[in-house]
Amino acid sequence: MERSTSVEIYNQVYAIKGDNPDKIRALAEIVDKKMKEVAQFSRIADTNKVAILAALSIADEYLECCNDLSNLQDRLLNHCEFVKEHLNDLIVTK
């Protein structure tokens, strides 16, 4: 059941509807932290610009994680193939 969770992002309070209040709070905390980082390092006062830069930064982090995951999946697949080949060699030689 969806219910409203109150969160504060960049000194604004929002009521966000969703099934998981803990997740909503965690997501809001990430956005709030990123917006504050962007504002601090860029010295931009416009909230909309801060939000866009924060969104781009979060999207960049997301893409990096996706690439890392893809690389790990490739490495795992290669290791599985390596183990499979060696197991086949052991089975065939016995």
pLDDT for the residue 1: 75
Please give the pLDDT value at position 46: 95
CB count in 10 Å sphere of residue 21: 14
pTM to 2 decimal places: 0.79
Q: How far apart are CA 4 and CA 18, in angstroms?
A: 7
pLDDT tens column, 44-84: 999 999 999 999 999 999 999 999 999 999 999 999 999 99
